[in-house]
Amino acid sequence: MASSFAPPKLADFILTERLGSGTYATVYKAYRKGDTREVVAVKVVGKKSLNKASMENLLTEIEILKTIRHPHIVQLKDFQWDNENIYLILEWCSGGDLSNFIRSRRLLPERVARRFLQQIACALQFLHNHNISHLDLKPQNILLSGSILKLADFGFASYMSPWDEQSVLRGSPLYMAPEMVCRRQYDSRVDLWSVGVILYETLFGRTPFASRSYAELEEKIRSDKPIELPAGARVSRNCRDLLLRLLERDPDTRITFTQFFSHPWVDLEHMPDAESLGKAKELVLKAVQKDQEGQRSAALSLYCSALEHFVPAIHYETDRQRKDALRQKVSQYVARAEELKAMVASDNRLSFEQFKSTRDILREMSRDQPRLLAALELASAAMAKEESGMEDNDTLDLYQQSLGELLLALAAETQGRRRELLHSEIKSLMSRAEYLKEQIKMQETQKDVSVDREPLSESVRGSCCVQ
């Protein structure tokens, strides 16, 4: 039986220490008999403990895990059975679960939480594309193999199209979406709420609804009060935006799967994976070509884009010698980017001076339009902040505010000299705002260079900011 103290016997495996147990299953560490001595995890389910619902859940879990293969989902290697038990032979993950990892560190730096969330999002994207909902996402069901996360325990998982709805209570209350706790109809969006709770816990060391009793927990979940981050929470703007959109009580206003996968903080495009190095090399070749052609600004932009993939590539590489060699090579690109930065900054200063006179003319011609004049002043403030080295989200906000007003003004402007100048100014501001957005993203990427603080990070961060 799965509940007995001694591990059960299994023909091809030697079951050793018990790793944990649940309502109807116990998990053991095991070794495959023979020369390989492969290490696996064996989930032992006692047949007598299964009712009709839990048997259906187990069969669904086996069916799902048999048909999917993904680097961030625990692999089902085989399953067997005898008169007493059903055995799921699973991939071994030596790092334990995410819950223990968080508890051992109390909370995680944002850059580490982001790396973890990218992997969860990658697995969820795969499941979503196959109409599979996990329905029990929590740190205890996310395992670590080195720095790699893998979703596990698909006991509550279900095939659900986006339009499918259920009302069965599943999962763990701390991580359960409000619509599920309140026993309303729910769909696959409950997984997004659970992701929000997990992210909140990794960043702040506790769940949003941490409670002393189930009654208190249920009261908090049923409340209409919006989720708030802890006082003094120090997280980036994009991280805060994602958290609050995931933890939206109303599933109809909660972030969608499409929006989640494309969110700038998740940034799956720059997630460390086997393709990171190839993408980086492709971009750096284009950068070198533009550099040789004397197109400095284009070359710098491409070098920066390449670095956004080189950094994950360094993080992904496990071989120390190859990692060091890659870091040295990237250092050469960083050095060239720094040289280009100085040249482009000089070019930009000349360009700014040339356009200053036409900008002054536009401002003079807008004296009779207070709203237009105010928008131009906002743009001037943004440029002044950027040129003084303040390449941050506050500066970008000023650009975006001014552009919003200027575009409205352009739509209402009649043909004439002022319209021509306004159109030219908007194009210039859009270019600057877009470039600044790239720089901010690059700076955020470099802050997340790696858990072991690659010495390259500060150099990379500085190289891609044109002042």
The set of residues, in sequence order, having a beta carbon less than 8 Å from that of 8 and lying 6+ positions away, is: 1, 2, 15, 44, 84, 85, 87
Q: Which helix (H) or strand (E) element contains residue 78? A: strand 76-81
**pTM of this prediction?**
0.78
Question: What's the token pair of residue 212?
Answer: 């002393």
Q: State phi, psi for 16 to the nearest 5 degrees.
A: -115, -115
The annotated binding site is made up of 47
Pick the CATH number of 13-91 from 2.40.128.20, 1.10.730.10, 3.30.200.20, 3.40.50.10490: 3.30.200.20
Residue 120: what pLDDT? 97
Residue 351: what pLDDT? 64
Alpha-carbon distance of 66 to 53, in angstroms, equals 20
The set of residues, in sequence order, having a beta carbon less than 8 Å from that of 349 and lying 6+ positions away, is: none
> Within the chain, which residue ranges are assigned CATH 1.20.58.80?
276-463
Q: What is the mean pLDDT of each run of 10 residues along the chain (467 residues)?
A: 67 88 85 87 90 86 92 94 91 92 90 92 95 92 91 81 47 81 80 96 91 81 85 88 95 95 93 91 95 90 88 85 89 85 74 71 87 90 84 86 91 90 88 75 52 41 42
Q: Which helix (H) or strand (E) element contains residue 377? A: helix 370-387
Nearest Cα to Cα of residue 176 among 133, 138, 219: 138
- In DSSP notation, 25-55 reads EEEEEEEESSSS--EEEEEEEEGGG--HHHH
- The one catalytic residue in 97, 136, 273, 291 is 136
The annotated binding site for ATP is made up of 47
Alpha-carbon distance of 11 to 89, in angstroms, equals 12
**Kind of pairing, strands 148-151 and 76-81?**
unpaired
> Within the chain, which residue ranges are assigned CATH 3.30.200.20?
13-91
Alpha-carbon distance of 396 to 264, in angstroms, equals 15
> Within the chain, which residue ranges are assigned CATH 1.10.510.10?
98-268
Q: State phi, psi for 151 to the nearest 5 degrees.
A: -70, 135
Hey, what long-range contacts does 297-300 have (CB within 8 A, 24 or more apart)? Answer: 297/344, 297/347, 299/340, 300/337, 300/340, 300/341, 300/344, 300/464, 300/466
Pick the CATH number of 276-463 from 3.40.30.10, 1.10.10.10, 3.40.50.11270, 1.20.58.80: 1.20.58.80
Q: Does domain 98-268 have CATH number 1.10.645.10?
A: no
Residue 25: what pLDDT? 85
Alpha carbon 67 to chain centroid, angstroms: 26
Alpha-carbon distance of 6 to 15, in angstroms, equals 9
Residue 444: what pLDDT? 58
Q: What is the CA radius of gyration of the chain?
A: 27
Residue 339: what pLDDT? 86
Q: Does residue 273 have an active-site annotation?
A: no
